[in-house]
């Protein structure tokens, strides 16, 4: 499970708690702080919890940084973390800072809940639909952006993508990772979600397998569609087996929620996600969700079909995104037969 759920001695209440931390992966320290906070809170959101009572911040300062860099970078990282916590309706009341060879950033999120405030991730039934609330490809986008200054690496992908497209994808990845999954958590209750998890380091297939293994019923998850930040699938293919994005094992950071929903609710969930997140809080026009697969009878495993449909998700602000925003979303009613 994404969180520990500990029944308290006070009747009917549980402590739900999670922790996570990682190394910086974007150049902007403020955005890195926001991403770290969003990633921690995402574990709560994956259980349908929309409120967090308290957060702690974990920060490791690199011993390789000089004093001037420390005084510039670390306050920005802390501010980003705190701003994201505030956006999530909570606050950072403490934490721990240490000196380390590397920068590490993360935190702890805690909430005391009644049973109706969280959704245990074990109730999927055959006939459910799988929905994903953020596009894939964040790791590919971040790496491709780093390769702009590495001719050897850039030469491997320059035939399938332009420098401008890489920069746009990197910005999209950064804002996507910094976006809270709080709206999706709220809608899980409204549309009777049966189970969910967040997609992070094990990739889509890894987390889908983990979720399938936890189900009470004998079910299997079959993934037909892969919403991916535009051009990242082509980059992954050009790099051979380096990312395995189409195979579902490419790591994501602060990815979307993978949600099991009743078939009759899935399209409405996606539509409401799009209307609530588009243009809100600087999140741009590419907010939303995609139907990506189905739940059928099976052996508690997940798989991606041999030739999944790739849904190219244009970065916000791009010409393609503007055109897409003026049309109806084709991702809400894919052919899952």
Predicted pLDDT of residue 225: 98
**Beta strands 4-7 and 14-22, pairing class:** antiparallel
Q: How confident is the model at residue 281 (pLDDT cuts 50, 70, 90)?
A: very low
Residue 223 is part of which domain span?
128-313
The least confident of 73-77, 168-172, 211-215, 317-321 is 317-321
Mean per-residue pLDDT of the chain: 92
DSSP string, 180-215: -SHHHHHHHHHTT--EEEE--TTHHHHHHHHHHHT-
Same domain, 283 and 139: yes
Q: Are residues 106 and 160 in the same domain?
A: no
pLDDT in tens, 4-50: 999 999 889 999 999 999 999 999 999 999 999 999 999 999 999 99
Confidence of residue 323 (pLDDT cuts 50, 70, 90): low
CATH of the domain at 187: 3.90.650.10
**What percent of the chain clears pLDDT 70, i.e. is strictly above it?**
91
pLDDT (0 to 100) of residue 213: 98
319 found inside a domain? no
Q: Are residues 181 and 56 both part of a single domain?
A: no
pTM greater than 0.85 (yes/no): yes
- Confidence (pLDDT) at 316: 83
pLDDT of residue 320: 65
Instruction: Tell me: do 197 and 133 sit in the same domain.
Output: yes
Is the per-residue pLDDT at 331 higher than 80?
Answer: no
Q: Verify that 152 and 214 share a domain, yes or no.
A: yes
Residue-level pLDDT at 288? 86
The mean per-residue pLDDT over the stretch 112-130 comes to: 97
Q: What is the pLDDT of residue 311?
A: 97
Same domain, 189 and 104: no
pLDDT digits (tens, 9 = 90+) for 206-235: 999 999 999 999 999 999 999 999 999 999
83-115 pLDDT, tens digit each: 999 999 999 999 999 999 999 999 999 999 999
| Same domain? 152 vs 241 | yes
Looking at beta carbons, which pairs linking 210-214 to residues 24 or more positions away fall under 8 Å? 211/121, 211/124, 211/258, 211/260, 211/302, 212/124, 212/298, 212/300, 212/301, 212/302, 213/300, 213/301, 214/1, 214/121, 214/122
Per-residue pLDDT, 286: 56
Quick check: is 118 in a domain?
Answer: no
Question: Do 35 and 75 sit in the same domain of this protein?
Answer: yes
């Amino acid at each position: 499970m994404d969180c520990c759920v500990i029944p308290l001695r006070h009747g009917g209440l549980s402590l739900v708690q999670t922790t996570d931390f990682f190394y910086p992966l974007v150049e902007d320290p403020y955005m890195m702080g926001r991403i770290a906070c969003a990633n921690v809170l995402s574990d709560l959101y994956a259980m349908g919890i929309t409120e967090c009572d308290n957060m702690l911040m974990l920060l490791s300062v690199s011993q390789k940084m000089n004093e001037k860099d420390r005084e510039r970078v670390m306050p920005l990282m802390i501010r980003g973390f705190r701003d994201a916590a505030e956006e999530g309706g909570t606050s950072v009341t403490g934490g721990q800072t240490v000196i380390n060879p590397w920068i590490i950033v993360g935190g702890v999120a805690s909430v005391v809940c009644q049973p109706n405030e969280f959704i245990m991730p074990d109730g999927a039934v055959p006939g459910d639909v799988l929905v994903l609330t953020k596009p894939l490809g964040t790791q590919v986008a971040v790496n491709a952006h780093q390769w702009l200054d590495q001719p050897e690496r850039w030469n491997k992908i320059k035939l399938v993508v332009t420098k401008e497209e890489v920069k746009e994808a990197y910005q999209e990845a950064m804002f996507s990772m910094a976006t809270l999954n709080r709206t999706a958590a709220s809608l899980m209750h409204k549309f009777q979600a049966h189970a969910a998890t967040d997609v992070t380091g094990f990739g889509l297939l890894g987390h889908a397998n983990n979720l399938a293994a936890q189900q009470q019923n004998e079910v299997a998850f079959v993934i037909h569609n892969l919403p991916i930040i535009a051009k990242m699938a082509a980059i992954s293919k050009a790099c051979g087996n380096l990312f395995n994005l189409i195979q579902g094992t490419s790591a994501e950071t602060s990815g979307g929620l993978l949600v099991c929903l009743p078939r009759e609710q899935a399209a409405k969930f996606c539509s409401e996600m799009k209307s609530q997140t588009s243009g809100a809080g600087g999140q741009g026009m590419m907010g939303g969700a995609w139907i990506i697969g189905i739940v059928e009878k099976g052996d508690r495993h997940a798989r991606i079909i041999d030739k999944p449909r790739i849904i190219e998700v244009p970065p916000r602000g791009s010409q393609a995104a503007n055109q897409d925003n003026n049309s109806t979303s084709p991702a809400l009613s894919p052919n899952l037969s």
